[in-house]
Amino acid sequence: MLSPAKRLRLRIAETGLVHIMATHSPLSAILAEEAGFDGLWASGFELSALYGLPDMSLISMTQHLDMMRAIAGRTTLPIVADIDTGYGNAINVIHAIREYERSGASAVVIEDKTFPKVTSLAADGRQELLPIEEFQSKIRAAVAARQSADFIVIARTEALIAGLGEDEALKRGLAYVEAGADMVLIHSKKKDPSEIESFSRSWKGSVPLVIVPNAYPELDSTRIKALGNIKMTIYGNYGIRAATTAMQDAFRRIIADGGVQNVHKSIVKVEEIFRLQNMEQVKADEARFLA
């Protein structure tokens, strides 16, 4: 049996572009697996939102790890864990890598912001970056701490998010490759893909790129593949947004209708939830062990 990390590496090599869906719960992970994604993004933004909190280093590593373990227990897909800034300095990163790898992650993304971070897409968010050398040390620490060579360390630069421009972003990306990163995630909050496409065309690094097309949704797989060096796309907040849309719609209709008499026709039946809960297995176990 190949490890999930090995399978993720093979899938990247085979397809040239893996599609990674954001999750905030085991249920959302099961739905992403059934829909056909290549892997899961254990998103900090989504888990923060699930708690009704902003994505600003308020969720602890323990909370995020607990959820990631619960997700790993209900899916066979590889998990890319969003560990934000790595929860501190290089020493914290070593601890985080050990914990996440042991808990079933196949990859981590670490970003070059200072702790505590501010969510990337907020207009006028405070975006402060670490000095390059300090972040290189965190990447070196991550690479040294992994047990399996298949575990993927992704370095994320927030240079474009911080408004520092493409030259700084390229410089940082190359420095992180030199420190041992397996892939570089380039993020942008510009409402069109021009910054990302330009970065991709200028990228001379020896490792492939990762993107999170949240702000520029028109960058679809055909356009991404045409760029040639982006091998992973993460659908960063689509799980929690889809869930929010569905709940807002159903909850408002129940209030408006004065009951559930209409809404029940447009949502899944409880039998579908039983299926997702694996109730069949419970029934079989009952027959076998409780008879």
Is 84 known to be catalytic? no
Binding of residue 216 to ligand SPV (CB under 6 A): no
**Nearest-5° angle of CA 9, CA 101, CA 54?**
100
CB of 156 to Mg ion, least distance (A): 9
> Which of 121, 122, 242, 276 touches ligand SPV by CB under 6 A?
121
The single-letter code of the amino acid at 136 is Q
Among residues 237, 238, 239, 243, the one that binds ligand SPV under rule CB under 6 A: 237
Which runs of consecutive H residues, i.e. helices, occur in 234-278? Answer: 238-257, 270-276
Of ligand SPV, Mg ion, none, which one sits near residue 103, judging by CB under 5 to 8 A according to partner kind? none
Size of the site for Mg ion (CB under 5 A): 3
Angle made by CA atoms 70, 266, 75, in degrees to the nearest 5:
20
Q: Please give the angle made by the CA atoms of 51, 216 and 120, to the nearest 5 degrees.
A: 40
Decide whether 106 or 120 has the Cβ nearer to ligand SPV.
120
Q: How many CB atoms lie within 10 A of CB 195?
A: 20
The stretch near ligand SPV (CB under 6 A) out of 6-14, 118-126, 146-154, 198-206 is 118-126
Q: Does 239 bind ligand SPV (CB under 6 A)?
A: no
- Binding partner at 203 among Mg ion, ligand SPV, none, C-beta below 5 to 8 Å by kind: none
Is residue 158 involved in binding Mg ion (CB under 5 A)? no
Kindly give, in sequence order, each residue whose CB lies less than 8 Å from that of residue 174, ignoring residues fewer than 6 positions away: 204, 205
Q: Exactly one of 55, 82, 84, 182 is catalytic; which is it? A: 55
* Number of Cβ within a 10 Å radius of residue 148: 11
Q: For residues 193 and 190, what is the distance between their CA atoms, to the nearest angstrom?
A: 7
Q: Does 112 bind Mg ion (CB under 5 A)?
A: no
Site string for Mg ion, 69-88 (x = CB under 5 A): -------------x------
212 binds, among Mg ion, ligand SPV, none (CB under 5 to 8 A by kind): ligand SPV
Q: Is 99 exposed, middle or buried (0-12, 13-18, 19+ CB in 10 A)?
A: buried
- Binding residues for ligand SPV, rule: CB under 6 A, are 22, 43-46, 55, 82, 119-121, 212, 214, 236-237
